[in-house]
Amino acid sequence: MGVTNDKMKYDAIVIGSGMSGGWAAKEFCDKGFKTLLLERGRDVKHIKDYPTTNMYPWEFKHGGQVPQKIQDENPIVSKCYAFREDTMHFFVKDDEHPYVQEKPFDWIRGYQVGGKSIMWARQTQRWSDFDYEGPARDGFAVDWPIRYKDIAPWYSYVEKFVGISGNKDGLAVLPDGDFLPAWELTCVENYFKDFIGKNYKDRHVIYARCAHISQPQPIHIEQGRGQCQSRTLCQRGCPFGGYFNANSSTIPWALKTGNLTLRPFSVVHSIIYDEKKGKATGVRVIDANTKEAIEFTAPVIFVNASALNSNLILLNSTSSRFPNGLGNDNGLMGKYFAFHNYRARISGTYDGFKEFTTDGKRPTSAYMPRFRNVEKQETDFLRGYAAGFASFRGYANEGIDGLFGEELKNKLTAKPELGVWGVGSHMMGETIPKETNFVTLDKDKKDAWGIPLLKMSVEYDDNDEKMTKDFIEQMTEMYTKAGFTDIKTTDSNNAPGLDIHEMGGVRMGHDPKTSLLNKWNQLHACTNVFVTDGACMTSTSTQNPSLTYMALTARAANHAMEEMKKGNL
Ligand SMILES: Cc1cc2nc3c(=O)[nH]c(=O)nc-3n(C[C@H](O)[C@H](O)[C@H](O)COP(=O)(O)OP(=O)(O)OC[C@H]3O[C@@H](n4cnc5c(N)ncnc54)[C@H](O)[C@@H]3O)c2cc1C
């Protein structure tokens, strides 16, 4: 039994202060609910705790690169493209928080206030009914208990606060949102957009929607955030608040209400279930520094520790009523775990538009929404993939990593050498959640806080192999027809994980026999516990998931407050 007293009672407890937890805290605090936001890592205050945000290339000791010793000591996180000298303080190092890989899985994490919202790539596409109806139509996983119309108003609600730039493209597969103006495409991107539009009936190239403020609105200024300066140093944390992270937006907003208690260094061990009351009453926390066990209570608990950690916390929340994890009556918790298939890439060159180049930078590029198996099944694999598309011509900062002194100075001040245009795309494939892809708790191994280690048993399947092959074939065909040359394709064959879009294990559904959460993200068997991060996802779509986590969280928090007011929770 941990330390507890009256000061430890709240109206709501939120576990995890990242992308989704920040939204839960904001919603509760805005409506006057005294909220405890528990975060296992350190605090990261906007601007003050972005140590590299204004550093010049020549100020980095290792020329921007991660020293070999650190790479050798951290083979997993070193595979992440965003783990660099300027950002590595925001990533979990491999040996700090071990996990068990029954099958190889690269787990990329950020344990601090703000979570991974500090380092994300900010791509924010809505999901459509082709996604929410996917499992029912194609016969996999279970039917989503919601449809696009249920979440559409919450996408708008979140988009307006976050600030999403994009164009209204009028595509059924990728619904339009409440957008700020988009940045421009390059001439080569516009050329490819026109070419695809003219030559393929159902394929489109659009501006990739992203969480950047291109034109600040009063709601952004009220948050203390300003216009994106296109510095493209986002993953260091942005002093302008030009992109959305929890540290610059939802958390300070919640703190300003006076209703938020933010408690860093608080490792949630488990959720407490009261058998007599038939509901959860609070959480057990281990203070990360003192290792003291403490208990906090609240009538409502939101689990937002990120998909895999939310699975871990719930599986570790055992009682005589729930011996296999809180709400896990059907034994499905941890199962049907899925992710995105980001294995394949293609690059090429375009020997035209030599009279043009780019000027300055921009925070995103172009996007090709899913076009395979949309209206009907047309291939020997289920579902499809989206693709990024970007073009570039030599610019001054290109290839500066690892340069020092005179060489670096010369490179930075030289007139860039303009060769031919380069083009490139990467695959963003949907994977099919399956019972055989699962996570469990290791029976013997524990972490430094006495919590069992998570054991991963997740892998690609035949559907992913066929889809990867199709991406390479289709993109090669489109690139070739468009006149791109020097085409190169790669299949990284990486283990799952580097997409950093972990989903499932505590899926939503209609039926308590085949799912864990209802349509409001409440555990069927313990309705005052809500799970609104990636763990709740029934299927994975091809679109980036974080906008959907934020919308689901805002929707669920407002439902929870209505239910509390009615005395139902
Ligand atoms: C390099 C990179 C690029 C990405 N690009 C995109 C993108 O373009 N678009 C997109 O949609 N997504 C992207 N993502 C993924 C995105 O960051 C995640 O989907 C999102 O952050 C998940 O939100 P979350 O709230 O579930 O988890 P997080 O933001 O990770 O927050 C979870 C928080 O819970 C805390 N926590 C964990 N366990 C406990 C515990 N036991 N007790 C207390 N606290 C705990 C963690 O420390 C963390 O702060 C990217 C991620 C990375 C790293």
Contacts 24+ apart (CB under 8 A), 397-402: 397/57, 400/57, 400/63, 400/64, 401/63, 401/64, 401/65, 402/63, 402/64, 402/65
Neighbour-count burial of 290, counting CB atoms closer than 10 A to its CB (0-12 exposed, 13-18 middle, 19+ buried): exposed
Torsion angle of the four alpha carbons 495, 498, 499, 501, in this order, in degrees rounded to the nearest 10 = 100
Q: What is the pLDDT of residue 325?
A: 98
| Count of C-beta atoms within a 10 Å radius of residue 499 | 22
Ligand 1 atom having least distance to the Cα of 546: 11
Neighbour-count burial of 170, counting CB atoms closer than 10 A to its CB (0-12 exposed, 13-18 middle, 19+ buried): exposed
Neighbour-count burial of 400, counting CB atoms closer than 10 A to its CB (0-12 exposed, 13-18 middle, 19+ buried): middle
Q: At what angle do helices 187-199 and 462-481 cross, to 10 degrees?
A: 100
Beta bridge pairs of residue 295: 284
Measured by CA distance, the residue closest to atom 51 of ligand 1 is 120
The alpha carbons of the chain give a radius of gyration, in whole angstroms, of 23
CA distance 510 to 524: 9
CA distance 126 to 201: 22
Total residue length of the chain:
569
Quote the tokens at residue 226: 């300003």
Ligand 1 atom having least distance to the Cα of 38: 43
Name the helix (H) or strand (E) containing 480: helix 462-481
Torsion angle of the four alpha carbons 375, 379, 380, 382, in this order, in degrees rounded to the nearest 10 = -40
Q: What is the pLDDT of residue 4?
A: 58
Beta bridge pairs of residue 338: 503
Name the helix (H) or strand (E) containing 464: helix 462-481
Q: What is the pLDDT of residue 2?
A: 54
Distance 202 CA to ligand 1 centre (A): 33
DSSP secondary structure string, 226-241? --------GGG--TT-
Ligand 1 atom having least distance to the Cα of 545: 11
Q: What is the pLDDT of residue 418?
A: 81
Alpha helices in 273-413 (DSSP H): 307-315, 405-413
Distance 235 CA to ligand 1 centre (A): 13
Ligand 1 atom having least distance to the Cα of 20: 25
Residue 87 Cβ contacting ligand 1 at under 6 Å: no
Q: Which residues of the chain have pLDDT under 50?
A: 1
| Residue with the two structure tokens 């209609």 | 510
Ligand 1 atom having least distance to the Cα of 310: 38
Distance 29 CA to ligand 1 centre (A): 21
Q: What is the pLDDT of residue 408?
A: 83
From 78, 342, 546, give the residue whose CB has the most ligand 1 atoms within 8 Å, as the site to mutate. Answer: 546
Q: Would you call 147 helix, strand, or coil by DSSP?
A: coil
Distance 284 CA to ligand 1 centre (A): 22
Q: Which of 243, 241, 250, 248 is nearest to 304 (CA)?
A: 250
Contact 21, 534 (CB under 8 A): no
Quote the tokens at residue 96: 């700090």
DSSP secondary structure string, 56-124? -GGG-TTTTSPPHHHHHH-TTGGGSTT--TTTGGGS--TTTS--EESS--------BTTGGGGT---B-
Residue 125 Cβ contacting ligand 1 at under 6 Å: no
Q: How far is CA 495 from CA 97, 107, 176, 345, in A?
A: 19, 10, 33, 15
Q: What is the pLDDT of residue 248?
A: 98
Ligand 1 atom having least distance to the Cα of 535: 26
Residue 121 Cβ contacting ligand 1 at under 6 Å: yes
Distance 119 CA to ligand 1 centre (A): 9
Q: What is the pLDDT of residue 565?
A: 95
Q: How far is CA 163 from CA 1, 156, 286, 358, 535, in A?
A: 44, 10, 36, 25, 25
Residue 348 Cβ contacting ligand 1 at under 6 Å: no
Residue 116 Cβ contacting ligand 1 at under 6 Å: yes
Q: What is the pLDDT of residue 18?
A: 98
From 113, 120, 308, give the residue whose CB has the most ligand 1 atoms within 8 Å, as the site to mutate. Answer: 120
From 43, 77, 116, 304, give the residue whose CB has the most ligand 1 atoms within 8 Å, as the site to mutate. Answer: 116
Q: 465-475: per-residue pLDDT in tens? A: 999 999 999 99
Ligand 1 atom having least distance to the Cα of 269: 41
Residue 111 Cβ contacting ligand 1 at under 6 Å: yes
Burial 208-224 (b: 16+ CB within 10 A, else e): bbbbbbbebeeebeebe
Distance 118 CA to ligand 1 centre (A): 9
Q: What is the pLDDT of residue 405?
A: 82
Residue 439 Cβ contacting ligand 1 at under 6 Å: no
Query: How are the residues of the chain apportioned to helix, strand and coil, as percentages rounded to the nearest 5?
Result: 25, 20, 50
Residue 123 Cβ contacting ligand 1 at under 6 Å: yes
Distance 83 CA to ligand 1 centre (A): 15
**Phi and psi torsions of 471, nearest 5°:** -55, -45
| Count of C-beta atoms within a 10 Å radius of residue 124 | 30
| Count of C-beta atoms within a 10 Å radius of residue 436 | 11
Residue 497 Cβ contacting ligand 1 at under 6 Å: no
Neighbour-count burial of 447, counting CB atoms closer than 10 A to its CB (0-12 exposed, 13-18 middle, 19+ buried): middle
CA distance 239 to 525: 44
From 15, 17, 19, 536, give the residue whose CB has the most ligand 1 atoms within 8 Å, as the site to mutate. Answer: 19
Distance 259 CA to ligand 1 centre (A): 24
Name the helix (H) or strand (E) containing 368: strand 366-368
